[in-house]
Structures are given as structure tokens and as C-alpha cells.
Amino acid sequence: MIPRILKLPLDQSILLFGPRGTGKSTLLRATFANETTHWINLLDAEDEARFATKPSDLMAVVRALPETTTHVVIDEIQKIPKLLDVVHALIEETDKKFILTGSSARKLKRGGANLLAGRAFVYHLFPLTFVELKDQLDLPAQLQFGQQPKIVGLKNESEKTRYLMSYANTYLKEEILAEQIVKKLTPFRRFLEVAAQSNGKIVNYANIARDAGTTEVTTKEYFSILDDTMIGFFLEPFIHSFRKRLSQKPKFYFFDTGVVRALSRTLSVPLLPQTNAFGDAFEHLVIVEATRLASYFFPEFRFSYIHTKDYAEIDLVVERPGQPLLCIEIKSSSSIAEDDLSKFASLVKDLPNSEAICLCNERTAKRYGNITVLPWKDGLRKYFTPD
């Protein structure tokens, strides 16, 4: 197992969220000893049937546990939200610590997860970061196949492709169809492909609805499903009054570069440097890396972007409490000239007291005016880790 950045407390009840395949169960097995932990897996048909029929059985099970059992793990709690009421009562009644995992917040929102507010710490687990991968980091492979733990251990591209295609199908079947989130799977399947092809772009609900054969209302609901099931996230436009800002619509990013390529059916298409596809994938990777690291180390950071009427853009704007606004330009090139940053420099001038950096594939740092050019790993480590 590759050591994870996220360290879970042993003396608290917790909710651990994350998409399927990010290693939640593996992390729990490495953190909580089998001899002192009672495990309930709601992906197991027998466990699910038992507690779905009679959630109160959990009360009897926990009361019967020996004193040496200190923790109760319930995997995929969103499958039976009513168990949260029972867990709430047990946290008040017993000295057991409850570890609840979930890959969807949708049912929990409707099932009263707020009952645990203040009684369980909330954590999120993501695919591996470059900090965790260390010497195993292979940029071309990460861009093409993503950073899920399972992918790293697979031997060849054929195995990785099969895994990602299976993952896409598993998501459709288990997260969407099995939980009856959508009534008809075929329109949602079409939407997924179109949304994946629009990854990292400003969301145009009307265009996506037309291409997917759905309505705008349905398209917005589908994006909400992706957000709730942690398959992707919105990057909102930066709120600022300066006159150049135009876009008030969000962008949407899938949580992993490999998954978005599987959903868009482009896994077999090579990612070649100096192409638009390579540049888009690199930008995607840097953005998900920054948001993952910030979630682990600096959860108060807020991310957004700026897009102007003349198509100038700041890829990532980071609001950091007590620090200057951080403006990030992302370029996949290994050779950055001052002219490449002219529009970025112009925009940054409208944001006083900000810090401007460019993350790219240069080998060494450079400085052009008030913009620092950094190798992407060095920049992410400097601004998004405490080291």
C-alpha cells in the first residue's frame, strides 16, 4: 500500500467520503486493527438486506460487542441513510467510535446526515497525489490513465484501459442505477460522454443538453448527480467587480484524468505533447492535484477561475485566508517565454496585492516581471503542502 497523506484520528467518530476506487477501505484496514474493530460492508448483499429491512438491528449488534471492540466501521453508509439515526443514538449511548464511509452524499443529504454534525469529523479521500506517488510518478501515464490506487499497480496499458472502462460501467450500475438516482439510464449515459468531452470548459447547459438529447433542467440535475456522487466538482467564477470579468458560469472537472478519458471514450487516443488534448489533460491534472492537496492540508482555501470577454483567463484563483490572492496560469510547455504570459500578466494587474505564478513543465524556476514560473511539482509542493 502506498502511504496516504490523510491520517485518520483513532479517538473520534468520522465520516470518510470519496469516490469509489480511491482506497477508502484500504486506508481503514491500515488504520484500524481488525481485533478491535467490527466491520460492516453495505456492499455485501447480506449486510445490506439485513440493515435495510431493520436498521435498528445495528443497535443490538453494537450493544453485544465486547469492550475490547473500540471501533465500528460501516462501509458505504449512503446505501442505508436510516442507519445514521441509529449511529447518532449509539454515539450518545456508547463509547464506541464509528467510522462511516460513503461514495455519495446524495442520499445522505436526503437522509439526515446533519444529525451527526459535531459528533463525527468529516474527511475526504481522493486519488493519489504526486506527493504520495513519489518515484512512481509517471506524468504521461498519469495524464492518460489517472491516479487511482488500483491503476498504479496494473502492469500495462491494456489492463489499465480495461480497469477504467469497467470503472465507468460500475459507476453507472452501482452508483446510479442501483440507487435509482435516475429513471432512465440511456439518456444519462449519453450525458456522461458529452460532459466528459466538455471537461474543464465553461458549462453551457443548453449546448450539452442538445448534444446529449436531454433538456436543460435535466442536464443541470445530471451535473448535480455527478457532484453529489463525487465524480466531479464545479469550479466557480471568481467574484470580483473589475470590468473585464465576463463569465458567471462555472466550469466542471471530473475527479480523475483517467476516468474522464474513459467516459469520453478517448482512452485509445494517444496524448501527444504540444497538442490541445495534452494541454487540457495537463491543466486538469494540476487543478485536481491542487484541490486534493488543499483539502488535506489547507481546507479553508477557496478555488475559482477568471475568464474575460476577450478570452483571457486565469486558470486558477486561490483565496487563502491571511495571505495574498494566488493567481495560477497552467501551461504544459517545457519552455515558457515572457510573451506567453502577456494576457495573464495583464489580468493580474487588475488584482492588487495578488501573487502570480505559472505552473508548467520547465525544469527550473524563472521570473518574468511579477510572475514566477515554476516546475509544476515544485509549485504545488510550495503552495499546497506545509513542507
The domain over range 14-124 is classified in CATH as 3.40.50.300: yes
DSSP state of 116: G
Pick the CATH number of 283-384 from 3.40.50.150, 1.25.40.10, 3.40.1350.10, 1.10.1280.10: 3.40.1350.10
Which residues pair with residue 234 across a beta bridge?
252
Give start-end residues of each CATH 3.40.1350.10 domain in the chain.
Answer: 283-384
Residue from 19, 16, 2, 5 nearest 233 by CA: 19
Contacts of the segment 300-303: beta carbons below 8 A, 24+ positions apart: 301/384, 303/235
3-state percent breakdown (helix, strand, coil) of the chain, nearest 5? 45, 20, 35
Q: Which string of b and e fits 304-334 if b means at least 16 CB within 10 Å?
A: bbbbbeeebbbbbbbebeeeebbbbbbbbee
Give the pLDDT score at 242: 53
Q: Are 1 and 30 in contact (CB under 8 A)?
A: yes
Alpha helices in the chain (DSSP H): 24-31, 45-53, 57-63, 83-93, 106-111, 130-133, 139-145, 149-152, 157-170, 185-197, 205-212, 216-228, 257-263, 276-297, 342-349, 376-384
Task: Please tell me the distance from the alpha carbon of residue 2 to that of residue 152, in angstroms, as a whole number.
Answer: 10
Residue 28 backbone class (left: φ over 0; alpha: ψ -120 to 50; beta: rest): alpha
Show the CA angle centred on residue 86, arms to residues 84 and 90, nearest 5°: 115
Mean pLDDT throughout 264-275? 92
73-122: per-residue pLDDT in tens?
A: 999 998 888 898 899 899 989 999 999 998 877 766 665 555 566 678 88
| Beta-carbon count within 10 A of 115 CB | 16
Give the pLDDT score at 110: 61
Residue 112 backbone class (left: φ over 0; alpha: ψ -120 to 50; beta: rest): left
pLDDT-derived band of residue 241, with 50, 70 and 90 as boundaries?
A: low
Give the pLDDT score at 183: 74
Mean pLDDT throughout 360-374? 96
Give the pLDDT score at 239: 79
**pTM, to two decimals:** 0.92
Identify the burial level of 187 via C-beta atoms within 10 angstroms of its C-beta, where 0-12 means exposed, 13-18 middle and 19 or more buried.
middle
Residue 102's SS3 state is strand
- Taking 60 as the threshold, does the pLDDT of residue 245 lie above it? no
Give the pLDDT score at 85: 87
Give start-end residues of each CATH 3.40.50.300 domain in the chain.
Answer: 14-124
pLDDT-derived band of residue 15, with 50, 70 and 90 as boundaries?
A: very high
19-74: per-residue pLDDT in tens?
A: 989 999 999 999 998 899 999 999 898 999 999 999 999 999 999 999 999 999 99
